[in-house]
Each structure stands twice: as C-alpha cells, then as structure tokens.
Amino acid sequence: MHQDIEEILISEDQLQAKIKHLGEQITQDYDGKNLLLLGTLKGAVPFIADLARAIHLPLELDYMAVASYGNSTQSSGIVRIVKDMEGPIEQKHVLIIEDIIDSGRTLHYLTDLLRRRNPLSLKVCSLLNKEHTRVQNVPVDYYGFTIPDKFVVGYGLDYAQLYRNLPYIGILKPSVYADDSKPQNQHQSMAENQ
C-alpha cells in the first residue's frame, strides 16, 4: 500500500466486480439505443475505460473536462468547463460517467448544461457516491459504491493531481493535506454563503 494511504477502501478486485455488474445492467438498459458515454476528465478516465469494455453494445465515447477542486480537498464552489465535448447530442442517449459525486455541484452544473442541448435521454453513472456531503441534489441512475465522508484517491481520483494511478480507492492520510488551508466539512457553510 502507498505510504500516504490510511486504508484501502475498495480493492482492485472489488472495483472490477462492480464494474462488470454495472456493465451488464447498462447493456440491458440501452439495448437498441444510440448510446454515448460521456466521461468527465480527468477523474473518470480509468472508470470509463473499464466500464466501456464491460458494456456489450455499440457505443460512442466523448469527454468533457469540468473542474472545481483545484489543488484542494474542498470544492471551490465554482464549476468551470475546461474542455467541451464534440458534436451535437440530439440523436443520442447520453450517459454521464463520473468517478465521484461529493457536493453534487459538478453534476448539477453538467446535467443542467447538457439538458439544454436536448439529448434523447440523459442519465448519470458514478463509481462513487458520498451521499452525506451533498449540497446540490442530483439524481444518480447507476452507482458503484456509497462511501463515507473521507477524502479518497486512486483509480482516477486525485489530490493535487497525484495518486490517480493507484489501482484501488484509498483514504488519504489527513497529514498529507494538513496544509490545505480550508477547514474540513466545509460543504454546508459554502452552500450557505452563496
């Protein structure tokens, strides 16, 4: 285990078993439909790569880069598009692939934006779901694991752009981000300040 990791929360084997199951569900639900998997860069890259191969249907892949965390463990509260997807989505069933839903701000922003582009349908699949930290409510159609309110890294998830290449999801030792100047559990107070 990496020295900055306090505990492995979800092992490589658990990740792959869950992704196989999600792939089977999505394969059933989207049979005969024009499916576009829309991955959010950068965090969802390992997940979308494995999930796409677990879905046994013709599908398209595209990506958007949306960022709000910068180098902090706390959302800045401001979501911005760093890279948009290519092409229109009016003739497509869009499934957004996320690595994690935490405050919900990223997905709220993204679903709002994409709905205005009139896809045939718009659903969300997130590997991880931190349900007690939600500031914006967003319906999640498929998710892998519900996790506690701890800052996690690995399998695409980063702290200050590092740890994305760990093959498991681990809880980061708080000492690693001790100089992260903003206090913990700040989601609620940020919402109240808006």
Ligand X SMILES: O=P(O)(O)OC[C@H]1O[C@H](OP(=O)(O)OP(=O)(O)O)[C@H](O)[C@@H]1O
Which residues are at the interface with ligand X (CB under 6 A)? 40-43, 67-69, 75, 98-106, 158
Judged by beta carbon, residue 18 or residue 105, the one nearer ligand X is: 105
Beta-carbon contacts of residue 184 (< 8 Å; ≥ 6 apart): 73, 74
The span from the CA of 135 to the CA of 101, in Å, is 10
50 interacts with, out of ligand HPA, ligand X, none, CB within 5 to 8 A per kind: none
Residue at shortest CB range from ligand HPA: 102
Contacting ligand HPA within 91-120 (CB under 6 A): 100, 102
104 interacts with, out of ligand X, ligand HPA, none, CB within 5 to 8 A per kind: ligand X
Question: What is the full DSSP assignment across 78-115?
Answer: --EEEEPPPS--TT-EEEEEEEEESSSHHHHHHHHHHH
Q: How far apart are the first and last CA of the chain?
A: 40
CB 62 within 8 Å of CB 110: no
- CB 82 → ligand X: shortest distance, Å? 8
Interface map 48-87 toward ligand HPA (x if CB under 6 A): ---------------------x------------------
190 interacts with, out of ligand X, ligand HPA, none, CB within 5 to 8 A per kind: none
Judged by beta carbon, residue 50 or residue 158, the one nearer ligand X is: 158
Q: Which entry of 102, 112, 141, 149 is annotated as an active-site residue?
A: 102
Q: What are the tokens at 11?
A: 């092992």
Buried b (16+ CB within 10 A) or exposed e, 109-122: bbbeebeeeebeeb
| Catalytic annotation present for 102 | yes
User: Looking at the DSSP assignment, which residues form a beta bridge with residue 127?
Assistant: none
Residues acting as catalytic residues: 102
